[in-house]
Every structure is written in structure tokens, then in C-alpha cells.
Amino acid sequence: MSLKIVVLAKQVPDTRNVGPDAMTPEGTVNRSALPAIFNPEDLNALEQALRLKDQFPGTTVNVLTMGPGRAAEVIREAMYRGADGGWLLTDRAFAGADTLATSYALATAIKHVCPDVDLIVGGRQAIDGDTAQVGPQVAEKLGLNQVTYVEEIKALILNGEGTKAANVGTVVCTRHIDGGVETVESPLPCVLTVNGSAAPCRPRNVKRLMKFKRALAPLELPQGQTYEDLPYADQYGCKQYLKIGQLTTADVNADLQQCGLAGSPTKVKAVENIVFKAKESKQLTGSDEDINGLVKELMANRTI
């Protein structure tokens, strides 16, 4: 019995090693100064998906990512690690999307390319926005159950052939909560968002790397060129897996009003740099007096 799994992944600027030029004078992220990487928690999500693929032969794992042409690198990376392929969701109309518009785009794309998906897995949140909203919103838009803060998929029980339409099966996972973990069960299909403390993703496999290294999305091709113009053009002719799928708003029948900037109610009012300084730290005990004092202070400066 096999599964259809979609992994949601994002290419993000590496905010973990920021230099002095990481922010623009306006306070936004200076994307050109930071290397673009596979969002770390999406790698944890990919690993959970690949473990299911190991366990259930015939399972397909495909990556869905929204972004410019270079974001296809995330799909290639995932293919090196074991994913079958993926789709680059890319269109000027998608640009400037907040979490609402992003989740609309992703959910619309999934309905289009993988309507019979069994499991959608993504990282808890991306390191550039840190919202943790996209996974849950995709679940809402598709009308699926969601499990957030997943540590590990403990079991996946399939109901067997022929029952797929009604109820494919059940997934059992542990999720990270304050002070411990809880084990939850959800019927399939559903959406899981995976924590960074989950198992790290397996490394790139070198044979897969050799096989897929030339895989490209159409948007990555040099301006005005087709696959036939590339070096090793014959390879693209005979190996379809070297052509990474690409989807535009038109391809997935997206409502342009709900996409990109137009579909994003979030407006950034201001961005402030907050620099923590060691001299500003305070030691508090667990006494009622200290706690009262802290609460009053935080209320006074409108933190809470």
C-alpha cells in the first residue's frame, strides 16, 4: 500500500549566520547578503516523509515550493535526499504574499496537482518569517485535520486497498507541547507541521545527486533558452525527471485577487531593530514578589 505525500518547503535566507549587512537600512531582510537555504524545519518534515516512503514502498514524496526560479534548488535538494520530484509554484502574481495568500496558493496548487494527497507535511515555520501560520492555514483551506509541533510520526496505519476514498488510514504522531510530548491520532488525509527538534534530515545521497544534478525548472533556464539549448540537451529529451514541474496562477486556476500582494491583508507598519544587551538582563527568583514585579513592569511597558 503506497501513499501520496506532499512536502511543503521554502527557500529562505540563512538568518542563522547574519553579518552586519543582513538588514537593509529600511529594516527589511537583505536577501542578497544572505545565502539561500532549505528552510531548516522543512528538512525535518522531509525526513518524516522519506521515512514513510522507506516503510511503504511505492509511496511518492513530492515537494511543493513557492518562489522565484532559484527556489527550485529546494526541490533538487529534496530529490538528492530521496524525494521523487516536485513543483515550483511561481508567478509574478504570487509575489508579496503574506501567510494568507501563501496558504491560498499552496492549497490551490495541491488541489490541482495532487487532489488525492494522503499526507501533507511541512516545517513548523520558516526562519525568515517565523509565523508558523502557513501549514495550519493550508489545512483549513483544504478542510483537513492538522497536527502541529510534530516530533515524530510514530505509526501510520492504512486501512487497506479499496477503502481509500472513505478513509485511507490513521497517522499517529507525537507533538511537542509545553513540558512534554503528547501522542495524537488523526485520520488521513491531514497536514502535519514538524518541529526543528525532530530527527534531522538524511544527507544527500551521492548517486541520486549524480542522477538529478541537472534537473531544472523552466524558469531556471537562461533567458530565451529551452531545454534543447542546454548542454547535454539530449538528456532532457530522454529523462523526464530532469524537468522540474512548474506551475503558474493560470496552471492552478488561482483567483488573482487572493494571490500575492492583492490577497495579503497584512501590512507592515514599522520594523524595529531590537538589540538585546547583557547589561539589561535581570535575575529573578520564583518568589511571588518577583513575579508580581515582573508582571507589573511588562504591563507598564505594554509588552502584555
Please report, as ranges, the residues that interact with another protein according to CB under 8 A.
16-17, 202-211, 213, 232, 235, 239
Kindly give the pairing relationship between strand 4-8 and strand 119-123: parallel
Q: Which residue's CB is nearer to another protein, number 206 or number 270? A: 206
Nearer to another protein, 111 or 208 (CB): 208
Least separation in angstroms between CB 203 and another protein: 4
CB 202, min distance to another protein, A: 4
The residue among 35 and 162 lying less far from another protein, judged by its C-beta, is 35
C-alpha 136/C-alpha 191 separation (Å) is: 8
Q: Nearest distance from residue 41's CB to another protein, in Å?
A: 16
Name which of 207 and 269 has its Cβ closer to another protein: 207
Minimum CB–partner distance for residue 88 and another protein (Å) = 21
The nearer residue to another protein, 50 or 105, going by C-beta atoms, is 50
Nearest to 23 by CA among 128, 123, 108: 128
The minimum distance between CB 277 and another protein, in angstroms, equals 22
Beta bridge partners of 216: 243
CA-based R_g, the chain, Å: 21
Instruction: Please state the closest distance from residue 216 (CB atom) to another protein, in A.
Output: 14
Closer Cβ to another protein, 61 or 138, answer by number = 61
Please, which residue, 199 or 295, has the CB nearer to another protein? 199
157 CB contacts (<8 Å, ≥6 apart)? Answer: 169, 170, 171, 172
Q: For the CB of residue 192, give the shortest distance to another protein in the complex, in Å.
A: 22
